[in-house]
Amino acid sequence: MTNLKLISESQSFGGKVGFYSHPSSACNGEMRFAVYQPPQASQQPVPILYFLAGLTCTEENFIVKAGAQRYAAEYGLMLVAPDTSPRNSGIPGEDEDWDFGTGAGFYVDATTEPWRSHYQMYSYVVQELPAIITANFPAIAEKQGIFGHSMGGHGALVCALRNPKLYQSVSAFAPITAPMRCPWGQKAFSRYLGTNQQDWRNYDASELIKLGRYHSPILIDQGTADKFLAEQLLPQVFEQSCQAVNQPLNLRYQEGYDHSYYVRFVHSK
């Protein structure tokens, strides 16, 4: 049993929201995550849906702001939201940028100094966290889905594409789909992974999809009024990569929606 610490717990929609911290072996320090256990989880194990958050976020943003508990309670899903990076690692400069370091782990396993000692978010999300969840909560280990927003949408796509059997579903809101070609991704990858761009391909959804190893459908929602659309998110690059390998992609452009917390669609297109 992992050394989990319950920070707070509140009842919500008949289930419960809990915030936890634990010593992480992947990230070599304390990590935090949030779990919503739906009412059904008090009777039997339930499927798990992981949400990966975007730049500057913590484990709290999605759980506090998205209102997803309502749906998780309706459908009997456990929601798991990890933090977006290690914190207080002691690495010099970790807090200097809002788009790199703290709050910006980019869901990669860093290979460069000084970041590699703590910034192992890919392994944390794909391996360590699911092991902790299934060991400590009434979850069905083989029924996992993953999604995310922006940097977290990038993370969700990469985790799924690199592990085609691990998740039952993958989707994203306004994901960074081609990080090798955008400023956010280039900044993060060059510092976490070094200057050899061959190494970057392991974390670029538009490159990974071209390997042809993933075959399940992918859903992406992207607002047309998103100010990061043209420079950072580049869904058209991902779409082209999908077309090149006949990968099923449902890319829904949502007219007039932006990149904010307020993006919600009443009706699917």
CA-only gyration radius of the chain, Å = 17
65 is a site residue for a second copy (CB under 8 A) = yes
- Cα–Cα distance between 70 and 98 in angstroms, integer? 31
Tokens 């509140």, residue located: 10
Instruction: Give whichever of 239 and 258 is closer to a second copy, judged by the CB atom.
Output: 258
268 is a site residue for a second copy (CB under 8 A) = no
Using the Cα atoms of residue 174, residue 203, residue 85 and residue 55 in order, give the sign of their dihedral.
Answer: negative
79 is a site residue for a second copy (CB under 8 A) = no
- Cα–Cα distance between 88 and 50 in angstroms, integer? 24
75 is a site residue for a second copy (CB under 8 A) = no
Q: Which of 48, 73, 182, 229 binds a second copy (CB under 8 A)?
A: 73
151 is a site residue for a second copy (CB under 8 A) = no
Instruction: List, by residue number, the catalytic residues.
Output: 150, 226, 259
56 is a site residue for a second copy (CB under 8 A) = no
7 is a site residue for a second copy (CB under 8 A) = no
Question: How is residue 165 written in tokens?
Answer: 């059997």
CB 79 within 8 A of CB 35: yes
- Cα–Cα distance between 82 and 123 in angstroms, integer? 12
Q: Which of 131, 140, 211, 225 binds a second copy (CB under 8 A)?
A: 225
- Cα–Cα distance between 39 and 231 in angstroms, integer? 42
Where does this chain touch a second copy (CB under 8 A) — which range of 67-75, 88-96, 190-198, 213-221?
A: 67-75
Tokens 């993958």, residue located: 170
Q: Which of 7, 42, 67, 230 binds a second copy (CB under 8 A)?
A: 67
| Interaction site with a second copy (CB under 8 A) | 10-14, 17, 39, 64-67, 69-70, 73-74, 223, 225, 256-258, 260-267
